[in-house]
Amino acid sequence: MKKTILSLVALFSLTTGCKDDAEFLNIKSTNILLVDEVYSDPRLVLSAATDLYNRIPDLVEPANFGIMASFDEAFASGDYGRHQNREYSYDDWSLWDYGYIREINLFIERVNAATRLSAADKARFAAEGRFLRANAYFELVKRMGGVPLVTESLTYDYSGDASYLRKPRAKESEVYDFVISELEAIKSILPKTPNEKSRATYGLALASKVRAALYAGSIAKYGVNTPTVSLPNGEVGIPATKATAYFQTALTSAQELITSGQYSLYQKAPDLSTNFANIFLDKANNPEVIFVEDYKLQSGKIHSFALDNQPRAITEEGERGGRLNPSLNLVQSFEKLDNSFAPLAINKGTPNDYIYYDKPEDLFADRDPRLQGTVLVPGAIFKNRPIDIFAGLVLANGSILSGDQLGQLKPVNGVSVQVVGLSGPIEGYDGSAQGGFYMRKYNDPVTGSGQIGTQSEVWNVRYRYAEVLLNAAEAAFELGQSAVAAGYLKLVRDRAGLTKALTPGEVTFDRIVHERKVELAYENHLLWDMKRWRLAHVVWDGSNSDLTTQPGKATEPSTRVYSLWPYKVYNPGGANHNKWVFRKVLSGRVTQSHVFRLGNYYSRITDAIINNNPTIVRNPNQ
């Protein structure tokens, strides 16, 4: 009996045995999703799209604020090299990310080939892919000029010869045309959801199209001022005859977005400067913002703008803060409430012939309220605390007493007095307000945003409605419709708090340039605007010219950043005791004047790229 049982057991174990080897090894992975698995579930497709959104190349953004000091908008309080370079490198601002383009192309192809997604999901994802691709090409053409247009994923056949994958550069106008036509094609597929700020929408497609058409139009129009910035086959440079059509496209699309009524200018806070600052801070039902890169605390996606730019007087993190100081060049560009331009009234001719102010902020009182929405001026309050900017004391005999530590106390006639502000400025003291100002735009006023462990979730605004209005105004102006332009400018300027409307006759090219300069400061527009107007080599011309006295003029050179240092009068018993005076200062750290060479208009395509694809031609003047 026992034997029978044993043999039965033996038989049993033999018959079951191991599975087929191939089947045994074929276990479904628990941590890798295959392509067809991803493209069968809309939530997974969204995460693939999120990765592509996350990789949108932005040159200037709060998370990369250092470059804001590369031109003339800000002094880099610590990164002084930015003011000690004369030439911009031809390699600066370059971009050649065809890996990104390829992944977008793959994304579009896989969405289109997916069988288990609903038709509505497929359409929306494919349109989002096309937006991302158009946006990437827009970014490429802004920086490099015409680039090879690759609109499908390329695959190497391992034949040993990859030359069939080489594509020459398209014309600059062809890339702009591609961007414009793609955005036009997808705008009605994308949802009309103005509260969706992080994904492509109808509004974003239109806003982006307006910007692209305007850029192309102004390159066509102003390219005649720089005839050498062109290539014979049009890889760089757009014929002047195309300008009108581009401007018309820009105006028509802007009007389509405006009449759709989906967005409006942000008008919530009664204080105009606070209202302007809040455009960038208010994430709840913000009617103006169209497209952002969003950040979220405790999610890993945070940035250090507030940490590195908090006023030093109220820093939450030891020696951190104050790195970016708005320049006097920008500050004096904000016009007066009567629409006139003037340098700040700090003296009556000579530097020591001061004009006295009761409070430091009085100097800026009659200026465009956007000034104090963009910049923290001396005397301003941030996070409910004074930021305490003053460079020293002016004593009874006119001499200046200052210190070398923030908030330093020194005896004056036997009395211990604070001789320098808790935020400085002190020459060469990193993070002190060496420019005389601190940042308000993008600067997070939430308590804790200045701590390394918390940081900031202020979003990076890429498109907002005010820019669409300014684009519409510029396109209308270029088309000779000054009255239309004045109407759009009025919307933006009324919201800003300027009460006197510009007449159509007052709308000039200088006005357009000025309005963008002050409304869109630090918002990743300055460089691209100066490039498309072909003004960059005029304004950053390498001359060591003084700070301009005509801040409203577009062609005035501005090659070095100037500072404005406030001083407190210390003269107990004197008439001006405790009053404030100001001096214009050129920091000793600013040793060179910027020169934007003609070869900087389009960044360098490196030798490595040309080695891989000899059909690529070099950019002009390099």
Binding status of residue 598 toward another protein by CB under 8 A: yes
Binding status of residue 23 toward another protein by CB under 8 A: no
Q: What are the angstrom distances between the C-alpha of 562 and each of 435, 439, 467?
A: 7, 16, 27
One-character DSSP codes across 502-526:
PPGGG--HHHHHHHHHHHSTTSS-H
Binding status of residue 588 toward another protein by CB under 8 A: no
- Chain residues 64-83 in contact with another protein, contact rule CB under 8 A: 81
d(CA 125, CA 403): 60
Shorter beta-carbon distance to another protein: residue 299 or 611: 611
Shorter beta-carbon distance to another protein: residue 145 or 287: 145
d(CA 264, CA 267): 9
Beta strands 563-570 and 392-395, pairing class: parallel
Binding status of residue 608 toward another protein by CB under 8 A: yes
Kindly report the number of other CB atoms within 10 A of residue 617's CB atom: 17
Binding status of residue 169 toward another protein by CB under 8 A: no
- Non-local (6+) Cβ contacts of 461 within 8 A are 279, 280, 289, 291, 292, 523
Q: Which stretch binds another protein (CB under 8 A): 199-207, 275-283, 325-333, 590-598?
A: 590-598
d(CA 576, CA 587): 27
Shorter beta-carbon distance to another protein: residue 322 or 620: 620
Q: Which of 17, 99, 160, 227 binds another protein (CB under 8 A)?
A: 227
d(CA 474, CA 480): 10
Binding status of residue 618 toward another protein by CB under 8 A: yes
Q: Which of 36, 91, 338, 362 binds another protein (CB under 8 A)?
A: 91
Least distance in Å: CB of 538 to another protein?
A: 12
CB 204 within 8 A of CB 182: no
In a 3-state reduction of DSSP, which class is residue 461? strand
d(CA 103, CA 524): 25
For residue 191, say if its preceding peptide bond is cis, omega within 30 degrees of 0: no
Q: Which stretch binds another protein (CB under 8 A): 85-93, 150-158, 501-509, 577-585?
A: 85-93
Binding status of residue 599 toward another protein by CB under 8 A: yes
Shorter beta-carbon distance to another protein: residue 167 or 618: 618
- Chain residues 525-554 in contact with another protein, contact rule CB under 8 A: 542-544
Amino acid at 438: Y
d(CA 472, CA 256): 10
- Non-local (6+) Cβ contacts of 162 within 8 A are 156
Q: Which of 165, 510, 597, 613 binds another protein (CB under 8 A)?
A: 597
Least distance in Å: CB of 154 to another protein?
A: 21
Least distance in Å: CB of 230 to another protein?
A: 11
Binding status of residue 41 toward another protein by CB under 8 A: no
Q: Which stretch binds another protein (CB under 8 A): 238-246, 255-263, 576-584, 597-605?
A: 597-605
Binding site for another protein (CB under 8 A): 81, 84-87, 89-91, 227-228, 232, 542-544, 592-593, 595, 597-599, 604, 606-608, 611, 618, 620-622
